[in-house]
Amino acid sequence: AALIIISLSCIVTLTVHAYFNWRHSLLNDIQRGIERKEFIAYYQPIVDANTNHWHGAELLVRWNHPKSGIITPAEFIPAAEQSGQINQITLQLLERAAYEKSTINELAPNSYISVNVTASMITNTDYVESLIGLIKQYPVLQNNVVLEFTERETFATAELGLLLSGMERLREVGVRWALDDFGTGYAGLSTLQTLSFDILKIDRTFVASSVTDAITHSILGNIAEMGLELNCTLVAEGVETAEEAEHVAQLGIQRCQGFYYAQPMPYTDYFAALKKRIKT
């Protein structure tokens, strides 16, 4: 028995060791990726639920890795958020987006880009100032940027004041605010009223099964009603079928995002698709 316990504890030790090694090399690799500007944005259109007009696009990060090819966020965002490396990555995405937006503006001057940030970026006053500096440096970003974050990490009352003042500072350079994954977090009505989001993005779990499942159906209806009550523009995430699109529009949700309309795509593809839509 003692032998088994000893060898089990060896396995655990080795596994923990391997995990830390793996994590350490992941963080080093991310750092190298930042230095070589390997993080790029894929664009996914945000579409009018009634007219199919493309109002803007969400920028979804991809790691264009020299050995592994395109890597999706699930594989590095948790580590990059924990280490804080996401802060630099986000600034790089925005700076590149400024160049991309200037060509998009020739086709669709009123379209916006929606960028994912973390709540801890917005409670960090220095980081807020670096975002403002970047937006001021590229006038094409002013009044054209939506920042979205989820309520999964903060909203502790102590942080709420900082969050609110960070949001207000960024509003001064024309940023609008979206609450991501709406319906999955913990924010009460009073928090939502305090932060006054411009846009609520309804999490795809409520959209996906709402057509077939009566309970989800009524939850989605209630979420939509509450969002409209708060005077927000609503975006349904993860719309995958015509049926879901129709259903969402019936509930008064104004905008949709999802594979039914388009997959996230590299900037050049997004630009080409936008051009084609405007021509026809």
Interface contacts to ligand C2E, rule CB under 6 A? 44, 60-61, 72-74, 77, 81, 86, 90, 93, 116, 118, 180-181, 204, 238-240, 257-259, 264
By a kind-dependent CB cut-off of 5 to 8 A, residue 266 interacts, out of ligand C2E, Ca ion, none, with none
By a kind-dependent CB cut-off of 5 to 8 A, residue 38 interacts, out of ligand C2E, Ca ion, none, with none
Cα atoms found within 13 Å of the Cα of residue 99, Cβ hemisphere only: 8
The distance of closest approach from Cβ of residue 116 to ligand C2E in the complex, given in angstroms and rounded to an integer, is: 4
Task: Tell me the three state secondary structure of residue 38.
Answer: coil
Question: What are residue 266's phi and psi, to 5 degrees?
Answer: -60, 155
By a kind-dependent CB cut-off of 5 to 8 A, residue 264 interacts, out of ligand C2E, Ca ion, none, with ligand C2E
Stretch that binds Ca ion, among 6-14, 121-129, 179-187, 243-251 (CB under 5 A): 179-187
Whether 175 and 146 have beta carbons less than 8 Å apart is answered as: yes
In terms of CB distance, is 13 or 72 closer to ligand C2E? 72
Structure token digits, residue 170: 């960024």
In terms of CB distance, is 118 or 233 closer to ligand C2E? 118
Site for Ca ion in 181-220 (CB under 5 A): 181
187-to-126, 151, 196 alpha-carbon distances in Å: 25, 7, 12
Structure token digits, residue 78: 């948790």
> How many Å apart are CA 48 and CA 50, to the nearest integer?
5
Contacts of 99 (CB under 8 A, 6+ apart): none
In terms of CB distance, is 72 or 193 closer to ligand C2E? 72
